[in-house]
Structure 1
Amino acid sequence: MKLDSREREALASILDQLTPRVAGTLSAGRRAYDDPTLQAEYDRWVRPEVEHGREADIDVVRSGLSSGEDTLPLTEAQALCWLRAFNHLRAAAGEILGIDADGWEEQTDAATRARPEFGILIALGWIQEELVAALES
Structure 2
Amino acid sequence: MRKWTRKTSLSGLRLRSEMDAREAEVLRSLVGAVTGLLTDRAQSAPQDDLAALTGLQVGNTTPPEDPRLARLLPEFHRSEPGSPDAERAGLNSALRGLHEPEIIATKIAAGSVVLETLPPQGGKIVLTAEQADAWLTALNDVRLALGTALGVDADTPDRLDSADPRAPHLDVYHWLTWMQDSLLTAMAP
Distance 1:106 1:118 in 2: 10
**Equivalent in the alignment of 1:89:** 142
Correspondent of 1:74 among 118, 127, 141: 127
* 1:120 and 2:172 matched: yes
Distance 1:41 1:4 in 2: 45
**Equivalent in the alignment of 2:181:** 129
* Equivalent residue pairs, number: 134
Report % sequence identity.
27
**Equivalent in the alignment of 1:16:** 32
Question: Match of 1:11, SS?
Answer: helix
Distance 1:106 1:89 in 2: 20
Distance 1:131 1:16 in 2: 20
Distance 1:7 1:108 in 2: 20
Find runs of 4+ consecutive structure 1 residues off by over 6 angstroms.
none
Give per-residue Cα distances to partners, 1:8-53, cap 9 Å, x unaligned: 2232122234444566434355421241111111111111111111
More strand by share: 2
**Equivalent in the alignment of 1:27:** 70
State the TM-score, normalized to the length of structure 2: 0.60
**Equivalent in the alignment of 1:55:** 108
The alpha-carbon deviation at position 108 of structure 1 amounts to 6.5
Mark the CA change 1:39 to 1:121 in structure 2 (over 3 Å): closer, same or farther: same
Larger Rg over CA atoms: 2
Mark the CA change 1:69 to 1:119 in structure 2 (over 3 Å): closer, same or farther: closer
What is the aligned-residue RMSD (CA, Å)? 2.6
Distance 1:37 1:134 in 2: 42
Specify the code of the residue in structure 1 equivalent to 2:97: R
Deviates more, 1:5-14 or 1:42-51: 5-14
* 1:7 and 2:23 matched: yes
More helix by share: 1
Question: Match of 1:31, SS?
Answer: coil
Distance 2:34 2:97 in 1: 25
Distance 2:142 2:177 in 1: 10
Distance 1:32 1:65 in 2: 33
The answer to whether the Cα contact below 8 Å between 1:96 and 1:117 also exists between their aligned partners in 2 is no
